C-alpha cells in the first residue's frame, strides 16, 4: 500500500478548504480517521443500536461487538486475555476512576511517584487521590537536554514505601520515549505498581504489555485513527482484587465491574475498524493473526515516521531562531515519535499556530496538559510551545509547505 492509496482512505485528507488541501500536523491532539471507521460506526448505530443483555437480535449483536472490541484491544496491546481490557469514555476519566480504587488502601506513610514527563491526566488523578489519603507525592524530573525521564533521580525516589509509579510511555509534547521496561523493573523491585500512559505512544509503536510487565496501561482510540474511546489494560489479579466504585446492581465481575454506565458501543465498532485498518497496512493475508499483521504494520509505519523525523530535523537546523525541545540526534530517531515541540524567537506560540492555521496547516500550541514538563522547561508562562505532530499519513511534501511558511514567519 503506497502513501497515496493510504491517504485516499481518509476523507479529511482528500477535502479542499477554500481551494486548498489542508495539512494535518495535529495528530498528537487526535488523528484523522479512515472511511472504514466511519462506516463501522454508522452501520452499528443504523442497524443494531442497543444495550447489553436484551433477548433480541440487536442486543445480541451489541454483546458480540463488545467481545470483539475487547479482543481487538487485547491484540493491539498483547494482553493475555480480552477480559483484561476495560473501556470508558476517555483515558482521563478511566484514570481518575482507577486512581480512586487503587488508592482505597493507601495510608499515611505511603508514597507515590508521578513525573514531569506526563500529561496531567496521569498526574492530577494520583495527586488528588494521594491528598485524600495523606500520602506523599514525589515527582520525577526530566532531562532537559532530551526531555526523557531522569532515571537516576527517578530511582532515588523509589523506596519500600512507594505504592505506585504513574509514568508516560512517550511525551505528548516532545515525543521523547521513556524506558518503561526498566522503570517497571525498578518499581517492582520495591513492590510498587506501575500505571503507564501510552496515549501518545500507541499510535506510533506496537505496545506489548506482557513484555513490559506493567500493572496497568491506558490509551485512547482517537489518537490512532479511531473514535473517542478510552481503554485500560490491567493485570488479572488487579482487576479482580481492587474494588472499583460501581452501581450496586451491576455485576461484580471483571472487567465489567470497572465499566460504569452504558458504554459507547458505536465507538467500539469504530475502534475495531481502526485496529483492522492498521493491521491492513501489513498487506499480510488472513493466514496471519491480527497481532502478526499489527507487528508488520507498525514496523512499516515506524520506518516512514522515522524518515519524516529525519527530514524535519535536518531542515530545522537551518532555522537558528527556532528552538526544539527533545531528541534532535538523528542516531536516536527510534527513541522519539515524530512530534516536535518548538519555540520561535520573537513570536508567541499562538501567533505561529494562527498564522499557519490561516493557510490551513493545522498545528497546536500551548502546554497540552503537560504542565510539569512545560514548567521545568521554562515555557509554561510563555504560551507553551508550538507542537508539530506527524502521523504515518503525513508526507515530506506537507513538511515542505510548513517550512515555506516558517520562512515567511521569520522573514
Q: What is the dihedral of CA 115, 116, 118, 122, to 10 degrees?
A: 50
pTM: 0.98
Domains and CATH numbers, the chain: 3-34+292-410 (3.90.1150.10), 39-276 (3.40.640.10)
Task: Please say whether the beta carbons of 186 and 158 come within 8 A.
Answer: yes
pLDDT at 1 over 90: no
Distance, CA of 398 to chain centre: 23
CA distances from 332 to 90, 248, 337, 338, 395 (A): 31, 51, 11, 12, 21
Helices (H), 213-339: 236-241, 265-280, 290-316
Taking only the tens place, the pLDDT of each residue in 209-262 is 999 999 999 999 999 999 999 999 999 999 999 999 999 999 999 999 999 999
Residue 153 is predicted with a pLDDT of 98
What pLDDT does residue 386 have? 98
Percent of the chain with pLDDT over 70: 100
Residue 114 has pLDDT above 90, yes or no: yes
Q: How far is CA 236 from CA 66, 232, 241, in A?
A: 19, 12, 8
What is the C-alpha separation between 164 and 242, in angstroms, rounded? 14
Mean pLDDT for the chain overall: 97
Task: Count Cα atoms within 13 angstroms, Cβ side, for 155.
Answer: 10
Q: pLDDT band at residue 338, thresholds of 50, 70 and 90?
A: very high
Q: What are the pLDDT digits (tens) for 14-72?
A: 999 999 999 999 999 999 999 999 999 999 999 999 999 999 999 999 999 999 999 99
In contact, 127 and 137? CB cutoff 8 Å: yes
Amino acid at each position: 500500500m503506497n502513501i497515496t492509496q493510504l491517504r485516499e482512505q481518509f476523507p479529511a485528507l482528500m477535502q479542499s478548504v477554500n481551494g486548498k488541501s489542508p495539512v494535518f500536523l495535529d495528530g498528537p491532539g487526535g488523528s484523522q480517521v479512515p472511511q472504514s471507521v466511519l462506516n463501522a460506526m454508522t452501520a452499528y448505530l443504523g442497524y443494531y443500536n442497543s444495550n447489553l443483555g436484551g433477548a433480541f437480535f440487536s442486543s445480541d449483536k451489541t454483546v458480540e461487538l463488545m467481545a470483539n472490541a475487547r479482543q481487538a484491544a487485547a491484540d493491539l496491546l498483547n494482553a493475555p486475555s480480552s477480559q483484561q481490557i476495560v473501556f470508558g469514555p476517555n483515558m482521563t476519566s478511566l484514570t481518575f476512576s482507577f486512581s480512586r480504587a487503587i488508592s482505597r488502601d493507601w495510608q499515611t506513610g505511603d508514597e507515590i511517584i508521578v513525573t514531569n514527563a506526563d500529561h496531567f491526566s496521569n498526574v492530577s488523578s494520583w495527586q488528588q487521590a494521594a491528598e485524600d489519603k495523606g500520602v506523599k507525592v514525589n515527582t520525577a524530573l526530566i532531562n532537559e537536554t532530551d526531555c526523557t525521564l531522569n532515571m537516576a533521580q527517578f530511582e532515588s525516589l523509589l523506596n519500600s514505601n512507594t505504592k505506585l509509579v504513574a509514568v508516560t510511555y512517550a511525551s505528548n509534547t516532545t515525543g521523547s520515549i521513556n524506558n518503561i521496561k526498566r522503570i517497571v523493573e525498578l518499581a517492582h523491585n520495591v513492590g510498587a505498581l506501575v500505571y503507564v500512559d501510552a496515549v501518545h505512544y500507541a499510535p506510533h509503536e506496537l505496545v506489548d504489555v506482557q513484555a513490559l510487565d506493567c500493572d496497568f496501561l491506558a490509551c485512547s482510540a482517537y489518537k490512532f485513527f479511531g473514535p473517542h474511546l478510552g481503554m485500560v489494560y490491567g493485570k488479572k489479579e488487579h482487576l479482580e482484587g481492587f474494588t472499583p466504585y460501581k452501581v450496586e446492581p451491576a455485576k461484580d465481575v471483571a472487567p465489567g465491574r470497572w465499566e460504569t454506565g452504558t458504554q459507547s458501543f458505536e465507538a467500539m465498532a469504530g475502534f475495531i475498524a481502526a485496529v483492522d485498518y492498521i493491521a491492513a497496512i501489513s498487506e499480510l493475508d488472513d493466514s496471519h493473526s491480527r497481532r502478526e499483521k499489527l507487528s508488520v504494520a507498525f514496523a512499516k509505519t515506524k520506518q516512514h515516521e522515522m524518515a519524516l523525523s529525519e527530514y524535519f530535523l535536518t531542515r530545522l537546523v537551518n532555522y537558528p531562531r527556532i528552538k526544539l525541545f527533545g531528541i534532535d540526534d538523528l542516531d536516536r530517531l527510534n527513541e522519539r515519535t515524530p512530534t516536535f515541540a518548538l519555540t520561535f524567537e520573537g513570536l508567541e506560540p499562538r501567533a505561529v499556530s494562527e498564522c499557519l492555521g490561516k493557510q490551513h496547516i493545522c498545528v497546536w500550541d500551548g502546554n497540552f496538559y503537560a504542565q510539569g514538563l512545560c514548567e521545568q522547561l521554562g515555557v509554561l508562562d510563555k504560551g507553551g510551545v508550538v507542537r508539530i505532530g506527524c502521523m504515518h499519513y503525513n508526507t515530506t511534501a506537507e513538511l515542505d509547505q510548513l517550512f515555506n511558511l516558517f520562512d515567511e514567519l521569520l522573514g
